A and B are shown apart, each in its own frame.
Chain A
Amino acid sequence: MMIDPLSVFLLLLGASTPILFAALGELVVERAGVLNLGVEGMMITGALAGFGAAYSTGNPFLGFLVAACAGAAISMLFAALTQVFLANQVASGLALTLFGLGLAAMLGKPFEGVRAPSMPAGPLRINWIVWLGLVMVPLVWWFLNRTRSGLILRAVGENHEAAHALGYNIRLTRLAAIAFGGAMAGVGGAFISIATVLQWTEGMTAGAGWIALAIVVFSNWTAPGVLAGAWLFGGVTVLQLRLQAAGVAVPVQLLSMAPYLATIIVLVAISARQKFSRRAGTGAPGSLGTNFHALR
């Protein structure tokens, strides 16, 4: 049995890109204090919109742009529900996922069975969008930790009452974060349809949105952690396919479970550290998942 590490790594990059985009977007959303469980719905919307645009125009990059816009647009449904009408975030997020899956299935009928236009390879024969995803990791880190806007966003997510008392606009900050999360999820979804599978199939994101949500927790709400988590999932996915191909006698189900098991172990380790050390805490934003309403 031979598994070439380099080829596995290249495959890993591809396999991890959709969840990397979605998880980076969700990271920013959650750092702003919003829990959007609609990642899967936004990804499938992006997958369809991106595929449709790429197929119709023959330009895959235009497809990704349209996917970002579509993801952001559908995320605004969630934003309107939770930020304007103060609906429960968990329920609204779940609704967004179901809505996105249904809408994409309905609108996607004309695109079934056609092939996506081919993409020109980027530097080192690695897809341009993979590069973009890798660049987004330090960019998101830098934005969150080194810019004033990022500081305000973290403040809003950490304690929205205090941020409001200091005069920051909670709703606007969160709307922007949700839109960014939607755009990133859209690009992630489009990567599956345009660059990986090369065609449109109903429900093709197959739970990638949920994995992205898990990775944000796994990362302890940091950008480098998201990259590590995405690579872990991508790596195990690729390795498992390779092992299957090589005919290793380990049940496929066990291998597929591995990334989820890893997440659970890391989560337990994080909370144990929180219990036993004075300094450490989880990186979970203080106001995560709670709505804010100010009396004027």
Chain B
Amino acid sequence: MTKGTDLAVPTVFRAEGIGKSYPGVRANDDISFAVRPGEIHALLGENGAGKSTLVKMIYGLVRPDEGRMFLLDAPHAPQDPRAARAAGVAMVFQHFSLFDALTVAENIALGMENPPPRRELAARITQVSHDFGLPLNPARRVVTLSAGERQRVEIIRCLLQNPRLLIMDEPTSVLTPQEAELLFATLRKLAAQGTAILYISHKLEEIRAHCDRATILRHGRVVESCDPRAHSARDLAAMMVGGQMRQIDRSGRQAGEVLLEVQGLSLPAPDAEGTALKDIALTLRAGEILGIGGVAGNGQEELLAALSGEVASRPGTVTLEGADLSGKGPEPRRVAGLLAAPEDRLGHAAVPDFSLIENTLLTAGARKGLVRRGLIDHGAARDYALAVIRDFDVRTPGPHVAARALSGGNLQKFVIGREVMQAPRVLVVNQPTWGVDAGAAAAVRQSLLDLARQGAGVIVISQDLDELLELSDRFCALNEGRLSPPVPTEGLTLDRIGLMLGGAHGMEEARI
């Protein structure tokens, strides 16, 4: 949309020539777009395209360097989020902005300007949450809620303010397909009442199914504004990355001998928030990719820990090429060829304050001969880190940079590359592309496929079902610590998988 052409149509929100610079980065450059009443407006772009900066400016967390914003045709220049909320802007954050130790009601009160007294607020929460089919108990502590329920808290917090513009930052990344459907039903209900919704997501199919307009950002600039239903997901992705998406190449793999065998693996829950593993059994062949799907908190981290060796299990439960590794720790398993890349990049897969070289040493020390007689071979470690950076296109000033300084996508490429380039027999990855933009995600997925083609076995644990359908040969569902028998991925539909994952986890009663 060009400036000034739609003045006859009323807008809820309008941006004109918005720009914002950080030291060394032009985060937003001359951004103009408009959101109309009752519209679900998608904001599309890769990581670092400037979506977050843009919505933070609308919500008053960041101030633009230049340009003007209008809310309901009145100038909109909020000093802080409170001013933005008072003007009618509400926001649901990507990483929930909730306080675990506080109750639902307290969390909601914190997001309101003038919350009513406690009892009245509790009554209103109960009522509004039922009106929208998202029942919530105001007295519960947030720490006891599931991801879907936590998001309800955020949404109810917004709804109680009667917002004119609701911003949602990647709201479905933690939801099952059924929970996501419920969310969209809620959004459509809101839109029908005239609320404008600004919707940020990576998930192109979702945007094509539910959004009325899409504004696409690339390198901080608006590159396209279109009707997403009129374009294919491939076209949208191409607009996002500014070129053709690399087609995933699945060819050239064939299942070989059995590499990894897991039998009767049961482990108690590691802590109060954890999940017990119940009688897990799986077989992984050479050249095969096994996908394990499930909603977060159903045992993914525990399963990865049991396979990587962080947690030992009963003898005979984990066998790699005939060798029993059940009682072995991570280092002997790495030496044997069983490698793992956990979900949490910063803090689990990598030490945030260590340089990339030091992080390389942590898992590749033995297999790559980077440690000799207890002494670090710094040159070799540096060379290996450089090789990972080069081959996996990790954007960083150099291998001496601390892991925490890398963006999520770049660190993920580094973490996966560090394992893949050790040529493992079996690689287990958890959420390999979580929060990673489309380009980097495609690179990571291709590297896993290439690894399998070279004869390794790969287990991909993920909540992104599209990813599992794209990568895996067989699919298992992990539900409350139980692993379903594998089914061939070919011919599986999202609906069928949704059922395998055990329905919508308490969201069913919400459909009144």
Chain A contacts to B: CB under 8 angstroms: 148, 151-152, 154-155, 158-159, 161-168, 274-281, 283, 285-286, 295-296
Contacts of B82 in A (CB 8 A): 167
Which residue on chain A has the smallest CB distance to residue B83? A167
B239 at the binding interface (Cβ < 8 Å): no
Asked if residues A159 and B272 are in contact (CB atoms below 8 Å), the reply is: no
CA distance A236 to B435 in the complex (A): 55
Asked if residues B101 and A165 are in contact (CB atoms below 8 Å), the reply is: no
- Please give 14 more A-B residue pairs, beta carbons under 8 A apart, in addition to A151-B110, A163-B110, A167-B83: A154-B106, A159-B98, A161-B97, A164-B61, A165-B81, A167-B84, A168-B110, A274-B272, A278-B273, A279-B272, A281-B101, A281-B272, A283-B101, A286-B100
Contacts of A280 in B (CB 8 A): 272
- Min CB–CB distance A225 → chain B (angstroms): 15
Contacts A167-B85, A275-B271, A281-B272 hold; do A159 and B100 have CB atoms under 8 A apart?
Answer: yes
In order of increasing CB-CB distance, the 9 nearest A-B pairs are: A167-B81, A162-B97, A167-B82, A158-B99, A167-B80, A165-B97, A278-B272, A159-B99, A155-B110
CA distance A280 to B141 in the complex (A): 10
Asked if residues B98 and A167 are in contact (CB atoms below 8 Å), the reply is: no
Contacts of A166 in B (CB 8 A): 81, 97, 110-111
CA distance A166 to B61 in the complex (A): 9
Contacts of B297 in A (CB 8 A): none
CB proximity to A under 8 Å, residues B35-94? 60-63, 80-85, 93
Contacts A165-B81, A295-B22 hold; do A285 and B98 have CB atoms under 8 A apart?
Answer: no
Contacts of B100 in A (CB 8 A): 158-159, 286
In-complex Cβ contact of A155 among B81, B102, B115, B144 (8 A): B102
Asked if residues B93 and A165 are in contact (CB atoms below 8 Å), the reply is: yes
Which residue on chain A has the smallest CB distance to residue B114? A148
- Min CB–CB distance B134 → chain A (angstroms): 20
Which residue on chain A has the smallest CB distance to residue B269? A278
Contacts A/B (CB < 8 Å), 10 sampled: A151-B102, A154-B101, A162-B93, A162-B97, A163-B99, A166-B97, A167-B61, A279-B144, A279-B272, A296-B62
Contacts of B402 in A (CB 8 A): none
Q: Is the interface of B mostly helix, strand, loop or mixed?
A: loop
Contacts of A275 in B (CB 8 A): 271-272
Contacts of A283 in B (CB 8 A): 101
CA distance A280 to B100 in the complex (A): 12
Contacts A167-B81, A278-B272 hold; do A148 and B101 have CB atoms under 8 A apart?
Answer: no
In-complex Cβ contact of B272 among A152, A162, A277 (8 A): A277
- Min CB–CB distance B375 → chain A (angstroms): 32
Asked if residues A158 and B101 are in contact (CB atoms below 8 Å), the reply is: yes
- Min CB–CB distance B32 → chain A (angstroms): 23
In-complex Cβ contact of A296 among B63, B81, B271 (8 A): B63
B255 at the binding interface (Cβ < 8 Å): no
CA distance A164 to B110 in the complex (A): 11
Asked if residues A286 and B93 are in contact (CB atoms below 8 Å), the reply is: no
In-complex Cβ contact of A151 among B63, B96, B98, B106 (8 A): B106
- Min CB–CB distance A84 → chain B (angstroms): 19
CA distance A165 to B80 in the complex (A): 9
Q: Which of B60, B83, B85, B99 has the most CB of A within 10 A?
A: B99
CA distance A166 to B85 in the complex (A): 9
Which residue on chain A has the smallest CB distance to residue B53? A295
Contacts of A286 in B (CB 8 A): 99-101
Asked if residues B115 and A148 are in contact (CB atoms below 8 Å), the reply is: yes
Q: Which of A161, A167, A281 has the most CB of B within 10 A?
A: A167
Contacts of A155 in B (CB 8 A): 99, 102, 106, 110
CA distance A276 to B272 in the complex (A): 6
Which residue on chain A has the smallest CB distance to residue B107? A155
CB proximity to A under 8 Å, residues B119-160? 141, 143-144
Q: Which of A165, A275, A279 has the most CB of B within 10 A?
A: A165
Asked if residues A154 and B102 are in contact (CB atoms below 8 Å), the reply is: yes
Contacts of A152 in B (CB 8 A): 110
In-complex Cβ contact of B98 among A154, A162, A164, A296 (8 A): A162
B109 at the binding interface (Cβ < 8 Å): yes
Which residue on chain B has the smallest CB distance to residue A167? B81
Contacts of B85 in A (CB 8 A): 167
CA distance A279 to B81 in the complex (A): 32
CA distance A286 to B143 in the complex (A): 12
Contacts A151-B110, A161-B97, A286-B101 hold; do A281 and B143 have CB atoms under 8 A apart?
Answer: yes
Which residue on chain B has the smallest CB distance to residue A284? B101
- Min CB–CB distance B504 → chain A (angstroms): 22
- Min CB–CB distance A168 → chain B (angstroms): 8
Asked if residues B61 and A165 are in contact (CB atoms below 8 Å), the reply is: yes
Contacts of B106 in A (CB 8 A): 151, 154-155
CA distance A67 to B276 in the complex (A): 55
Contacts of B62 in A (CB 8 A): 295-296
Contacts of B83 in A (CB 8 A): 167
Which residue on chain A has the smallest CB distance to residue B109? A151
Which residue on chain A has the smallest CB distance to residue B106? A151
CA distance A135 to B311 in the complex (A): 50
Which residue on chain A has the smallest CB distance to residue B271? A275
CA distance A148 to B109 in the complex (A): 9
Contacts of B60 in A (CB 8 A): 167
- Min CB–CB distance A288 → chain B (angstroms): 11
In-complex Cβ contact of B102 among A148, A158, A168, A277 (8 A): A158
CA distance A194 to B61 in the complex (A): 49
Contacts of B93 in A (CB 8 A): 162, 165
CA distance A128 to B106 in the complex (A): 36
CA distance A22 to B163 in the complex (A): 44
Beta-carbon contacts of B474-508 to A below 8 Å, as 1s and 0s?
A: 00000000000000000000000000000000000
Which residue on chain A has the smallest CB distance to residue B272? A278
Contacts of A159 in B (CB 8 A): 97-100
Contacts of B99 in A (CB 8 A): 154-155, 158-159, 162-163, 286
Q: Which of B63, B97, B98, B273 has the most CB of A within 10 A?
A: B97
- Min CB–CB distance A146 → chain B (angstroms): 8
Contacts of A276 in B (CB 8 A): 272
CA distance A152 to B102 in the complex (A): 11
CA distance A159 to B143 in the complex (A): 13
Contacts A166-B111, A276-B272 hold; do A285 and B81 have CB atoms under 8 A apart?
Answer: no
Which residue on chain A has the smallest CB distance to residue B96? A162
Contacts of A161 in B (CB 8 A): 95, 97
- Min CB–CB distance B227 → chain A (angstroms): 32
Contacts of A162 in B (CB 8 A): 93, 96-99
Contacts of B95 in A (CB 8 A): 161
Which residue on chain A has the smallest CB distance to residue B144? A279
CA distance A278 to B273 in the complex (A): 6
CA distance A278 to B272 in the complex (A): 5
Contacts of B144 in A (CB 8 A): 278-279
